[in-house]
Structure 1
Amino acid sequence: MIETLPQTRRQLLRASACGGLSLSGLWSAQSALAETNKAATAPKIKACIVVFYYGGPSHLDTYDLKPNAPADVRGEFQPIASSAPGVMVSEHLPQMAKVMHKVAIVRSVNHQNRLHDSASTEMLTGRQSPQGDREEFAPIPQFYPCVGATCSYLWRERGLDVPHAALPFLFHNVVDVPCQGGGFLGSAFDPLQIAVDVEKRAYRAGSLAPPDGRTFASVGDRRRLLSVLESQLNANNSAERQWRAFYDRAYSLLGSETLRRALDLSAESQATRDRYGFKPAEAVNGDTSQSAMAEGRPMRGQNLLVARRLVEAGVPFVNVFDFRQQGQNWDAHANNFFHHKNYLLPQTDQSLSALIEDLDQRGLLDSTLVVAMGEFGRTPRINANAGRDHWPDCYSVLLAGGGVKGGTVYGSSDRLGMYPETNPVSPADLTATIFSRFGIDPMTEIHDTTARPHRISDGRPIRELFVA
């Protein structure tokens, strides 16, 4: 009999307790698990860029087309060949088709959250929301930290100016979705928010700019005066110390020439900016739908250019949120094909392919993991409004760089794209993969405000995706 070896310590303990492993099998499993953990903790990458396509792209119309399915499943788009032998993508992704030999597709991602808030929470934290599968209609505290915040916490002794940045806004349903910050680790581990000014076509680090009419030197004078006053008042309680820590960090970033240069896109050639996509796309045939009018839409491509510049400046974790507002994003309950073809896919195709090529040409792709994902996919069956609804049961996520085996397809969906057929992958597996590529053991524990321990991930790194 061939014994299937457990992939995690939890599985190992469960199997041995239930008599599922012989003594020799237990020894083999322990040995294999030790080698797995050793490999998972070896440093692999220097940076990660997570591009989050808020609203849920259709896997069936992008990277997992079903041309032989019934018409009410396969939809309007045709598959085209890509640079990876045997890997087909949508006809509306011609630029991505050229770089698929550098990309891996996971076609079997799944979870149980059918609503945007809870699905986004699980994808960005690797954990089910404590509130369950629901939308939030009033602000609530975030509990589990997002992956970037967890990394920031684990890197806290490294003295990084900016361990984690997010741009170009917090994404929002009824309220800002509570999965974008430090959670129980505290606001000190929230990402540095990079904001976009669409009219000026420029970026800034939150409010980190001297007030109008003041120079950085004059702000420094005020800081020195504050230090004198604090010493005279002997400010020493915990709240004041925390406030001072935030103030000192903000001041340090305010004076960071490296950060200012990273956000200054005028340093890029016009050809590079055009490659990512800079000109606003016009509404098709006078269309005034929410997709056409989405906030920040003209800068979708430039967001990924800024992400590349932040990585070059030494920021190890960058989140890019593709759309801000629910209802003005990938949530194509109606006219799915019109919106994907005219508004959603063209800029995505241009900018994501540009990021992969640009990182490669600059020698950064091997050390930078790019993850492109939404919170779920779309229903295989097309609805009465020519749309597709929420579908977390099976969908696709892309990975590039960071040692990824280009041209790889991991997992598969069934003939209708409804459920995983092979190698199902959970959000926890994705977060475990990111942690392990940084050389962080996914079984590392962090503690909440009650000192209760939590593993940073309960998933299994997808080692099959990466070059040994």
Structure 2
Amino acid sequence: MGNGRRHQHAVGLTRRELIQVGYSGLLGIGLPSLWSRASQGATPGGPRAKSVLLIFQTGAPSQIDTFDPKPEAPEEIRGTFQPIATKAPGVQICEHLPGLAAHADKFAIVRSMTHGLPSHEHATHMMLTGIDKMPPGATHMASRSDWPSYASGLDFLRPREDGIPNGVMLPTYLNNGYGFSGQNAGVLGPKFDPWHIKQDPNDPKFRIEEFALPVGLTAQKLDNRRSLMAEIDGQSETLSKVSRGGWSGLQDKAFSLLTSGKVKQAFEIDREDPKTRDRYGRHMFGQSLLLARRLIGAGVPIVQANMGHMNNWDTHTENCEQLKTRLLPPLDQAVSALLDDLHVRGMLDETLVIMVGEFGRTPRIGQDSQGLPQHKSGRDHWAGVFSALFAGGGVVGGQVIGRSDKMGAYPASKGFLPSDLGATIYQALGVDHESTVTDQLARPLQLNRGQVIAPLFTAASV
């Protein structure tokens, strides 16, 4: 496979054409999140949300210049932005987030997120998997030593039989010449990897190749599986190397995605009302969140929308200027439209929306670990404290949970860790976050060791 030879299969497809229709997925490479092993039980009492939308601000935004302003601090701390009042009494956020300010009754802000590793790759791993330290063998690069992403943990514990993936990440794979760790199933194996979409939904040519059938091949023809399966089963040597066993019954799950229309229709974003598309914003942020809403509506339980290409929020230079002109306006428009849209459609109560980066930025502008003069207007990496936004899924809106110190450097109240974020995500979906999963060597592992951020679901702040 992939050797460049044109091998014609009995059903009339070339090897390259089979790749187009998801042949790689059939072999456990392209769409492996559709295939999983035996499930374990869900949390007693049932789920509070049907889905989770993780809006990931890759590169890490400044907490002070967004959701935790420090107007009383010196200018080199507070920056150039002014705080504004919000719909939540007593809660202020950045002046360049007016749309979110008008929706503050719908969300809660946690201002005391914290961990100890201000490295993009490692912190991304921690925030996307719910761990507080790197697992043995894991590095900054994606590998099978990584801890499983949330979608992968869910896929292991709650496998599906309906052809809908348990997890979709879009619109980019986080990389810096190599894939960042923590984005796949890691130790659980490739069968549980989430589905990564790597195209900008705002691109007029946006198209998902997995759904692109070659000319002359219809879904009805594809659904006639026997001849194709006989051909694939004949590739025993290839299958033994790629599938790692457990092949029985997996073909139907792969084909169900290709032959059923539910998920495919969700990706047909051009069918959306143009006015709705305009409200979200005709940019990558807006159309990615609109696509995420469509996928959630199609039944995908975990969608991760990466707001920006890798390090988009990594404002080492001109921090305030970049936020003001390039980053905050599209984010404010898109997330505000999303909250409205979910509310109007009756989906907000059953969708937990989380917005967070991998860490925060230095309290002092120009505080740079490298001491480079071009960084005097920027903020460096900072994991001491940062903010996260939570809405829907039972979250009590209009409140602030936790607080940072007067410089926005460290928690001044209870700090919440990446593992606590993970516990909250799993519990919201009705999954016991302390469940046991097994790695590819059949070793038992506790999925998560955090604590649910309980104040999110009560009216009391911490």
Q: Give the TM-score normalised by structure 1.
A: 0.81
Counterparts of 2:139 and 2:80, CA distance in 1: 32
Query: Are residues 437 and 158 of structure 1, via their aligned partners in 2, closer, same or farther at CA, if it must alter by over 3 Å?
Result: farther
**Pick from 297, 315, 322: which aligns with 1:332?**
315
* Residue 314 (structure 1) aligned with residue 293 (structure 2): no
Q: Find 2:340's aligned residue among 357, 379, 383.
A: 357
8 Å Cα contact 1:171-1:323 kept in structure 2: no
In structure 2, what is the equivalent of residue 423 of structure 1? 414
Q: Which residue of 1 aligns with 2:64?
A: 60
Q: 2: distance between equivalents of 1:48 and 1:451?
A: 28
* 2:262 corresponds to 1:258: yes
- Please report how far the alpha carbon of residue 140 of structure 1 lies from its aligned counterpart in structure 2 after TM superposition: 3.6
CA contact (8 A) 2:65 2:81 kept: yes
Residue of structure 1 in register with 2:226 after alignment = 224
Query: Which ranges in structure 1 are unaligned for 5 or more consecutive residues?
Result: 1-37, 279-297
Unaligned runs of 5+ residues in structure 2 are: 1-41, 367-374
Paired residues of 2:43 and 2:432 also in contact (CA < 8 A):
no
Q: 1:50 aligns with which of 42, 51, 54?
A: 54
AA paired with 2:62?
S
In 1, Cα distance between equivalents of 2:44 and 2:64 = 32
8 Å Cα contact 1:195/1:204 also seen in 2: no
Quote the Cα distance in structure 2 between the aligned partners of 1:231 and 1:342. Answer: 55
Indicate which of 114, 119, 131 corresponds to 2:118: 114
Q: 1:59-458, aligned counterparts within 5 Å?
A: 59-127=63-131, 128-130=133-135, 135-136=140-141, 140-156=143-159, 159=162, 161-197=164-200, 200-201=203-204, 203-212=206-215, 214-220=217-223, 223-229=225-231, 239=242, 248-278=252-282, 298-326=283-311, 329-383=312-366, 385-458=376-449
SS in 1 for 2:341: helix
Percent same amino acid at aligned positions? 41
SS of residue in 2 equivalent to 1:150? helix
- State the alpha-carbon separation in 2 of the partners of residues 89 and 369 from structure 1: 21
Amino acid at match of 1:76: T
| Distance apart, 1:246 and its partner CA | 5.9
Query: Residue 294 of structure 1 aligns with which residue?
Result: none
> Secondary structure, in 3 states, of the residue corresponding to 1:341?
helix
Q: Is the 8 A contact 2:223 2:259 kept in 1?
A: no
Deviations along 1:237-263, whole A, 9 cap, x unmatched? Answer: 585665676654332212221112111
- Aligned partners of 2:162 and 2:253 also within 8 Å: no
Could you say which structure has the higher helix fraction?
Answer: 1
Is the contact made by 2:290 and 2:338 (CA closer than 8 Å) also made in structure 1? Answer: yes
Give the corresponding residue for 2:10: none
CA deviations 1:98-120 (Å, max 9, x no partner) are 10101000000000111100000
Q: 1:132 to 1:343 in 2, by over 3 A?
A: farther
| Inter-CA distance 41–110: structure 2 relative to 1 (3 Å threshold) | farther
1:218-248: per-residue Cα shift (whole Å, max 9, x none)? 5445x43223346778899585665676654
- Aligned residue-pair number: 407
> 2:20 is matched with which residue?
none
- Partners of 1:43 and 1:448 in 2: CA distance: 25
Q: Distance in 2 between matches of 1:147 and 1:338?
A: 34
> Aligned pair in 2 of structure 1 residues 202, 96: CA closer, same or farther (>3 Å)?
farther
Q: Is the 8 A contact 1:63 1:88 kept in 2?
A: yes
* C-alpha distance in structure 2 between counterparts of 1:153 and 1:202, whole Å: 34
Residue 293 of structure 1: aligned partner: none
Residue deviations 1:149-172, cap 9 Å, x none? 101111115645221111112111
**Shift in Å, 1:201:** 2.7
Q: Distance in 1 between matches of 2:435 and 2:108?
A: 27
Distance in 1 (CA, whole Å) between partners of 2:75 and 2:382 is 18
Query: Match of 2:329, SS?
Result: helix
Name the CA distance, whole Å, in 1 between partners of 2:163 and 2:257.
11
Instruction: Name the aligned partner's letter for residue 50 of structure 2.
Output: K
Residues 117, 173 of structure 1: 8 Å contact kept? no
Change (3 A) 1:341 1:350: same
Q: Which amino acid aligns with 1:330?
A: W
Check 1:439–1:244 CA distance in 2 against 1; reply closer, same or farther (3 A cut).
closer
Paired residue type of 1:60: I
Distance of 1:96 and 1:362 partners within structure 2: 19
| Worse-superposed segment, 95-104 or 245-254 | 245-254
Partner of 2:340, secondary structure, is: helix
SS of structure 2 residue aligned to 1:454: strand
Distance in 2 separating the partners of 1:114 and 1:170: 20
Greater shift after overlay, 173-182 or 69-78? 173-182
1:40-80: CA deviation from partner (whole Å, max 9, x where unpaired)? 85421111000101000011000000000011100000000
Structure-2 change in CA distance of 1:216 and 1:76 (3 Å): same
In the TM superposition, residue 457 of structure 1 has moved relative to its aligned partner by 1.2
